Structure 1
Amino acid sequence: MLLSIVRPVASAAATGLGRRAASGIALKYSHAVYNAALSKSPQTLTKVQTELNALSAAIKETPKLNEFVHNPSLSVKDRTAGLEVLYAAGGKKEPISDITKNLFSVLSDNGRLGETVGVIEGFNELVSQYKGELTVVVTSANALPRDTLSRLESTLKQSQAAQQAKTLKITNKVNPSILGGIVVDFGDKTIDLSVASRVTKLNNLLQQSV
């Protein structure tokens, strides 16, 4: 079922998703698994989201699993064995659903396991849109204090995009490479207030003046 959905949604892969979500290739799979789950029921959609987030966490927290999904040279036998280990790590509370397994089988067969994290991020954005949520990702060089996030939330709630959403969800991601300041991603907009961005602009101006 999932495999048959992947190709038709290719042209619509980028529709409605923020810039941070994933590559166009990953978004094809995001749409495919989203459509497959929602066609079953809203409850199935929630179950698949829970599974995918658990698998994503397992990949990020387990170096061997992270290495597994990013190793395109593995044989079919090794990929099959690796997926079983991944399912066991992400499905500790209850068995992984066929929809989720089907997704990973397709990713594996197509040599796209390296896109896993992007696929899950894209899927989560689609679910957020379905639920009327506006997810805001605030990237900073260091974790932001709770009161700073609260002030940001109050400011963002005044935006037109937030007023059209049922709920507003703010996530703080840490990326030391931005040096300082913040980068705010919401909907299809990005507000780059990072030090790295200002340094880049300064360097470009200096190069143009030489």
Structure 2
Amino acid sequence: MLLSSTRAACSSAGFARRAASTIALKYSNALFSAALAKSPTVLTKVQSELNAISTSIKDVPELKTFVSNPTLSATDRASGLNVLFARAEGTGAKKEPVSEITKNLFAVLSDNGRLGETQGVIEGFNELVAAHKGELTVTITSAAPLPKDVQTRLEATLKQSQTALKAKSLKVENKVNPTVLGGIVVDFGDKTIDLSVASRVNKLNSLLQQSV
């Protein structure tokens, strides 16, 4: 059974906890262990299938509704999963049957009423794979797109950090979130460096409330 082992598959992947719920991460860890036990090739295949499914859920409103609806009958859930698997198979000459490991994951999620955790499971799985491969993703969140010169200097600084030097590869992602107001928030391995205006405003509000 896919969930026969739920222990953490990689100690350096603890930072995945920020991206998904505790429940989702149990499935992520079990899935990672099952895929890796087969072979690195199977691990890569499962990741490709999951990412195709994730993209389909984001792009197709009906599929997003499907995974978030816990009231569907067993028959409807089975039909919906077949649509997800068809998306993961690809098209044309590249079309390949979905792995049993991926099918088992979704069978368990469906039976346990946890299809709503799908995106969290996939996020956690990707973090575990990245940690296994020695990859490190740094996410820089700002209120507006950063100027190119600022982006370049920031990336150069990050690459010189001890955490980055230990990684085999470094990937920098940029996100725009107006709620940070200004400054940046850097998610870096298991650390978060909050240099946002919103953070300073929150701290000020907290101090003011304590003073009243």
- TM-score, normalisation: structure 1: 0.89
The amino acid across from 2:39 in the alignment is S
Identical positions, percent:
69
Which of 187, 196, 203 lines up with 1:201 in the alignment?
203
User: Which residue number in structure 2 is paired with residue 180 of structure 1?
Assistant: 182
Quickly say closer, same or farther: Cα 1:127–1:196, change in 2 above 3 A: same
The alignment yields a C-alpha RMSD, in angstroms, of: 2.0
The amino acid across from 1:20 in the alignment is R
1:113 and 2:111 are equivalent in the alignment: no
User: Which residue number in structure 1 is paired with residue 88 of structure 2?
Assistant: 90
Aligned length: 206
Tell me, in whole angstroms, the C-alpha distance in 1 between the residues paired with 2:152 and 2:142: 15
Tell me, in whole angstroms, the C-alpha distance in 2 between the residues paired with 1:144 and 1:99: 41
Residues 125-176 of structure 1 show CA distances to partners (whole Å, capped at 9, x for unaligned) of 1111111111112223334455543322211111111111111111223333
Deviates more, 1:76-85 or 1:30-39: 76-85
Q: Secondary structure at the match of 1:198?
A: helix
Tell me, in whole angstroms, the C-alpha distance in 1 between the residues paired with 2:11 and 2:5: 16
User: Which residue number in structure 1 is paired with residue 58 of structure 2?
Assistant: 60
Quickly say closer, same or farther: Cα 1:146–1:109, change in 2 above 3 A: farther
Structure 2 portions without partners, runs of 5+:
none
Tell me, in whole angstroms, the C-alpha distance in 2 between the residues paired with 1:161 and 1:71: 40
Tell me, in whole angstroms, the C-alpha distance in 2 between the residues paired with 1:165 and 1:123: 18
Contact 1:132 1:167 in 2 (8 A): yes
- TM-score, normalisation: structure 2: 0.88
Q: Secondary structure at the match of 1:139?
A: strand
How far did 1:69 drift? 1.1
User: Which residue number in structure 1 is paired with residue 37 of structure 2?
Assistant: 39
User: Which residue number in structure 1 is paired with residue 24 of structure 2?
Assistant: 26
State how 1:114-193 maps to structure 2 within 5 Å.
114-144=116-146, 146-193=148-195
User: Which residue number in structure 1 is paired with residue 4 of structure 2?
Assistant: 4
Tell me, in whole angstroms, the C-alpha distance in 2 between the residues paired with 1:150 and 1:131: 25
Structure 1 portions without partners, runs of 5+:
none
How far did 1:42 drift? 0.5
User: Which residue number in structure 1 is paired with residue 73 of structure 2?
Assistant: 75
Residues 55-110 of structure 1 show CA distances to partners (whole Å, capped at 9, x for unaligned) of 11111111111111111121211111111112222322432211111111111111
Tell me, in whole angstroms, the C-alpha distance in 2 between the residues paired with 1:73 and 1:143: 41
Deviates more, 1:89-98 or 1:66-75: 89-98
Contact 2:9 2:33 in 1 (8 A): no
Contact 1:13 1:27 in 2 (8 A): no
Contact 1:48 1:99 in 2 (8 A): yes
